[in-house]
Amino acid sequence: MQLFYGYKEGDRVMLSEDESKHAVKVLRKSVGDELNVFDGKGNLYTGRIIDNHPKHCGITLDKVEENWGALPYSFHLAIAPTKNMDRLEWLVEKAVEIGISRITPLLCEHSERKVLKPARLERILLSATKQSLKGTLPQLDELTPFKEFIQQQNATPTFIGYCGEGTKTPLHMKMREHGSSVCVMIGPEGDFSPTEFEAALKAGIQGITLGDQRMRTETAGLAAVHTAHLVHISQ
């Protein structure tokens, strides 16, 4: 399926400017051609082009499918951005393909990257959502200080991955107990500090481990995403 991103406007569906340009200029779509357009909120629209303008291509609203490509669980990954942006971008792409609902970049004591520009990550989110035929764009939060983040986590079961000493349970066991609709926190290359780990525990967040292997930040993040996926499909 060839998929485009857009939004409903009255009795028609409009493609975004970038998607309009791609459809009209690159793919040479013309009036009468049928397109499938998703709005990032779970709606899939099907219709035919009635305006093939390269900046605001519009289609008829012939069919609507709700909850299209919906992820059957909600997985929230809170992760410290890597110093190398290529590694973070790779993680975002692969996490969306496997299945993720929300990403919160964390600013931690040992963070190597303390400034994050979201524009490119948002484009990667959109591209990966289209490629994997998912109907809802994952939420991308602003870079959030660690202390602020743990104070907000009181509704969703939340777990923190940590390599140091402390009480920790394998993530897959916690997900067998709580399901895949959880939040998992992954630290920077230098890990969360002992102070951060203790603060998270005091906030009601539970310690978890992904195994005995030492992983890079993006590897650990993807391992957590994949664990949620495996637990879900095995239930």
Structure tokens at 70: 């919906």
pLDDT given at position 213 = 85
Has residue 71 been placed in a domain? no
pLDDT given at position 155 = 77
218/108 same-domain check: yes
Has residue 187 been placed in a domain? yes
pLDDT given at position 234 = 81
CATH number for the domain that contains residue 112:
3.40.1280.10
60/88 same-domain check: no
CA atoms 180, 185, 189, 192: torsion sign: negative
151/197 same-domain check: yes
Has residue 70 been placed in a domain? no
Question: Of 35, 65, 95, which residue sits at a domain end?
Answer: 65
52/111 same-domain check: no
Has residue 8 been placed in a domain? yes
- Cβ atoms of 163 and 188 closer than 8 Å: no
Structure tokens at 48: 């035919």
Question: Of 38, 65, 92, which residue sits at a domain end?
Answer: 65
60/124 same-domain check: no
101/207 same-domain check: yes
pLDDT given at position 65 = 96
CATH number for the domain that contains residue 51:
2.40.240.20
Range of the domain at 141: 76-234
Has residue 191 been placed in a domain? yes
Has residue 98 been placed in a domain? yes
The structural domain count of the chain equals 2
Q: How far is CA 167 from CA 55, 66, 91, 178, 189, in A?
A: 55, 43, 27, 18, 21
pTM for this predicted structure: 0.92
pLDDT in tens, the chain (235 residues): 899 999 999 999 999 999 999 999 999 999 999 999 999 999 999 999 999 999 999 999 999 999 999 989 999 999 999 999 999 999 999 999 999 999 999 999 999 998 998 999 999 999 999 999 999 999 999 999 999 999 987 778 999 999 888 888 999 999 888 888 999 999 999 999 999 999 999 999 999 999 888 899 999 999 999 999 998 888 7
Q: How far is CA 118 from CA 26, 34, 121, 189, 201, in A?
A: 26, 32, 5, 21, 30
Q: In the 8-state DSSP scheme, what is residue 141?
A: P
pLDDT given at position 95 = 97
26/141 same-domain check: no
